[in-house]
Structure 1
Amino acid sequence: MSVIYSALTSLMNRFSDELRKSFLFTVIFSVLAFIENQWVNSYFKRFYPSENFLGFLNRNIILKNHVFNPLIVLVVFALFLLLSLNPPSTSLVITLIIAFFGFFIGSVILPKMFFNNSCDNIIRFKRQDIYSIGFVLLLIGIIFFFVSVASVGGIPLLRPSIRYLLKPAFTMPVFLIIPATCLIGSAYLKDFQVGKITCSQARFRFLLLLVIDCAFLLLLGYRTPLLAAFLIIIIMGFYGNIVSLWEVVIGALIGIGAIIGIGYFRSLGEMTITSSTNPFYTLQSRADFTLHVLNLLDFIGGNFGHTHGHMLISSLPGSDLGPRMMVGKLIAWRTEVTVTPTLIGQMVVDFGKVGVFVEMCILGFILGIGFKLMQKTENFFYIGIYSLILTYTILGVETGILDIQVLLYFAIAILIYLINIAKARN
């Protein structure tokens, strides 16, 4: 494994270095350096609120120390359920209690058995390796953005109807911008930790990454990847002491507003609502529909499941039906639509209530170990990887964790955490 990693990072470093030395990127980075210098030394920066703005938030111990604890997943899930216009069935309530209980055990109780001593012998990743991988992934994402736009002959945000013509083979690589943001951001965080750049410079670079994400992901008309980039920046910035607690709170409100706003205007463009419709209705109706789907999946899955792992396996490339298309087939016999099943939808239809407990316990354990390792080491890479998997778990509350690239992120996180657990035991 170490040989493969060394070969990969060596190739990435060489490619990244050569690109950065090219005339085009020399000009780009020179311009960005100039803008950064103007930002850092701007007269107007003094009018921006200080870290102690809304100081009462800092006095709240739960918010200050645990705002991005893994248990936030359960809070978000509960709020999502409350948005629904109709209550869940009795059977689903039982399934949800089992899910919440399993996640609590995995995220809070099981991690107490690990990393209770020094974490000096954990895997340490080099800053240059992480940056180079992120830089290459970002370029791949940008290249495929232009391929995707060219393939449909327009920009989906401006012409919502053509969004459904986008080809997954072209759009999936665009979403590599998300892990690229995580890796590049964590590299900048390392620079800040060792004093190579100031807090203002780090904040500017985090903001620049977010602007790049918005420029490409928003134009494709997708909300989820954009929210992923936003959440990753916020979580990394918070645990890297770059973003203040009040900025996290304001950022959360902006994120909720973005979900409502983009959904509202996209629904207007698709003529599924009128301008007189309450903007919150789009969010409520979406939550209600998703909960209705979960009710049906819970009925189908029962105690021991119906598809017995086929839905999870259908995430793999080459499958006849993707997991969300399989949901459409199960509940309505329509394979031409994709339906989001929530975080536990796949679990209950694959393995029933028993599977919900086991899978939620495993998911909680992954996040719990990541959270503990990040807190004990304050290492730039572990802050980044925890931000990535927590972000997709939060977003998965509605969509589920079913995309192959997201499953790959979790697989990499699991592998790294297990290796660290093994090293800690030696």
Structure 2
Amino acid sequence: MSIIYSTFTSITNKISDEFHRSFLFTTIYSILEFLEDNWVNSYFKRLYPGENFLNFLNNNSILKNHLFNPLIVIFLFSIFLLLSINSPSHSLAITLLIGFVAFFIGSAILPKYFLNNNEKIVQFKRDDIYSIGFCLLLVSIVFFFISIASVGGIPLLRPSIRYLLKPALTMPVFLIIPATCMIASVYLKDFQDKNITRSQARFRFVVLLVIDCAFLLLLGYRTPLLAAFLIIIIIGFYGNIVSLWEVVIGAAIGVGAIIGIGYFRSLGELTITSSTSPIYTLQSRADFTLHVLNLLDFIAGNFGVTHGHLLASAIPGSDLGPRMMVGKLIAWRTEVTVTPTLIGQMVADFGKVGVAFGMCLLGFILGIGFKIMKTTQNYFYIGIYSLILTYTILGIETGILDIQVLLYFAIAIFIYLICIVKSRN
């Protein structure tokens, strides 16, 4: 594996170095450097509230130390269930309880027995991580222009053409999310090493978010944009670049953005009227998704019905994608995609037994990542934890079913396993 990694990073380093020497990059960099210098030394920056703004939040030890603990997944999942207009069935309630208890065991109890010697964690070079992130960003930008050219317009301005976008072209665009994660974590490393100031790091985080907004919002996708937003917040929070009050206000803005984009998109598609409550779009989504989960739980029973085929359908080349397969399971409609929640795939594949095992494993992955991150404060492990926690949170509704997201988790598991093995030697 070390040969593959060194070869891969050698290639990405060369690509990154060549592009950094190009006229286009030097021009963009000069402009951003000018803006950064002016922002850092700006008088108006002093008008922005400091770290002690809303200081009562800093006195809350739970928020300050455990805001992004893996158990936030259970909390947010519960909120999502409460948004639903209807209640879960008795059988589903038992399934959910099994899942929550298993996740708690995996995230809060099992990690205590692993990685108690974090001096032996795998270390990654700063330049390697930056070059990988930068190359992923280049790929995503190239495929963005290919995607809009393939449909002949910008989906944000013409919502009807959004459904003409080809997944094979848009999936590489979403590489902008791990790219943002890796580049932001490198900026955190530079801040930790005192190569840049906190103000410079904050400015660069904002620039990354602006780039994400410029490409993802134009495609009309809100979930990837929310992913980028969450990643920046989590990395900044644990890297002491973003203050606690900014996280709280940022979360409120994020929720408002979800409601607002969903509301106006629904108005544009004539699925609701202007007299409908904006929050109804959230309630209806939660209610529909819970109804899907109820049906999956009913047909799957204790041991499941698809026995791994639903998860395997995420592999490119499958006749049906995982969400289309869910549509076939509950309504025999293969032309629609249906979100099954975080545990939907586990239920369909292996029933209540699958939920117990799957949620325990998911909790363990997040628990180990959280433990390494908190004890080492290593920039790379802060980044990778923010990536998998973000997609777990978003997966509460959508499920963790996209092949690229499954790949992120596979990479995280591989790295954590190496760390566990090294710590036992």
Q: TM-score, normalised by structure 1?
A: 0.99
Does residue 89 (structure 1) correspond to residue 89 (structure 2)? The answer is: yes
Mapped to 2, the partners of 1:97 and 1:407 lie a distance apart of 24
Deviation per residue, 1:241-298 (Å, 9 max, x gap): 0000000000100000010000000001100001111100001001000000000000
Paired-residue identity, %: 79
Separation in structure 1 between the aligned mates of residue 26 and residue 186 of structure 2, nearest angstrom: 19
Rounded Cα–Cα distance in structure 1 between residues aligned with 2:239 and 2:368: 18
- Inter-partner Cα distance in structure 1 for 2:187 and 2:309: 40
Within 5 Å, which residues of 2 pair with 1:20-419? Answer: 20-117=20-117, 119-419=118-418
> Could you tell me how far apart the structure 1 residues matched to 2:97 and 2:361 are?
16
After TM superposition, the runs of 4+ consecutive aligned structure 1 residues lying more than 4 A away are none
Question: Aligned residue for 2:11?
Answer: 11
Structure 1 residue 211, shift from structure 2 partner: 0.5
3-state DSSP class of the match of 1:279?
A: coil
What residue ranges of structure 2 are gaps of 5+ in the alignment?
none
How far apart, in 2, do the equivalents of 1:298 and 1:389 lie? 26
CA distance in 2, matches of 1:122, 1:343: 29
Counterpart amino acid of residue 105 in structure 1: I
Paired residue secondary structure (1:320):
coil
Hey, what's the Cα distance between the residues in 2 that align with 1:45 and 1:25? 27
Displacement of 1:407 in angstroms is: 0.1
Counterpart Cα distance in 2 of 1:400 and 1:371: 21
In the alignment, the residues of structure 2 paired with residue 377 and residue 191 of structure 1 have an alpha-carbon distance, to the nearest angstrom, of 16
Listed one character per residue, the Cα deviations across residues 83-130 of structure 1 (whole Å, up to 9, x for unaligned) are 00000000000000000000000000000001223x222111000000
Q: 1:338-384 deviations in whole A, cap 9, x for unaligned?
A: 00000000000100000000000000000000000001110000000
Distance in 2 (CA, whole Å) between partners of 1:46 and 1:26 is: 30
Contact 2:92 2:297 in 1 (8 A): yes
Shift of 1:138: 0.3
The amino acid that maps onto 2:200 is Q
CA distance in 2 between counterparts of 1:115 and 1:147 reads 44
For residue 402 of structure 1, give the secondary structure of its aligned residue in structure 2: coil
Separation in 1, partners of 2:145, 2:320: 27
Distance 1:253 1:236 in 2: 18
Q: Give SS of 2:396's match.
A: helix
Q: Say what the alpha-carbon RMSD is for the aligned residues.
A: 0.5
Does structure 1 conserve the Cα–Cα contact (< 8 Å) formed by 2:185 and 2:235? yes
Give the distance between the partners of 1:122 and 1:393, measured in 2 at CA.
23
Give the Cα–Cα distance (whole angstroms) in 1 for the partners of residues 23 and 86 of structure 2: 59
Q: In the alignment, is the contact (CA less than 8 A) between 2:116 and 2:423 conserved in 1?
A: no
Counterpart Cα distance in 2 of 1:223 and 1:15: 30
- The aligned amino acid for 1:301 is A
CA distance in 1, matches of 2:299, 2:408: 29
Give the letter for the 1:418 counterpart. Answer: L
AA aligned to 2:69 is N
Separation in 2 of the partners of 1:92 and 1:259? Answer: 27
1:174 maps to a residue whose letter is V
**Scaled by the length of structure 2, what TM-score is found?**
1.00
Code of the aligned partner of 1:323: P
Question: 1:33 is matched by which residue type in structure 2?
Answer: E
Find the aligned partners of 2:299 and 2:372 in 1 and give their Cα distance: 38
For 2:128 and 2:411, the matched residues in 1 are separated by 16
State how far apart, in whole Å, the 2-side matches of 1:334 and 1:160 are.
24
- Tell me how far apart the structure 2 counterparts of residues 352 and 283 of structure 1 sit (CA, whole Å): 27
Q: 1:310 & 1:72 partners in 2: Cα distance?
A: 29
Per-residue Cα deviation, 1:293-352 (whole angstroms, up to 9, x for no partner): 000000011100000000000000000000000010011110000000000000001000
| SS of the residue 1:220 aligns to | coil
**Aligned residue identity for 2:395:** G
Compute the displacement of 1:66 (Å).
0.2
1-side partners of 2:95 and 2:124: how far apart? Answer: 40
Residue-pair matches, total: 425
The separation in 2 between residues aligned to 1:69 and 1:374, in whole angstroms, is 11
Q: Please state how far the C-alpha of 1:180 moved relative to its aligned partner.
A: 0.1
Q: Is the 8 A contact 2:187 2:204 kept in 1?
A: yes
Instruction: Tell me, in whole angstroms, the C-alpha distance in 1 between the residues paired with 2:68 and 2:315.
Output: 30
Q: Which amino acid aligns with 2:39?
A: W
Q: How far off its partner does 1:145 sit?
A: 0.5
The 3-state SS of whatever aligns with 1:120 is helix
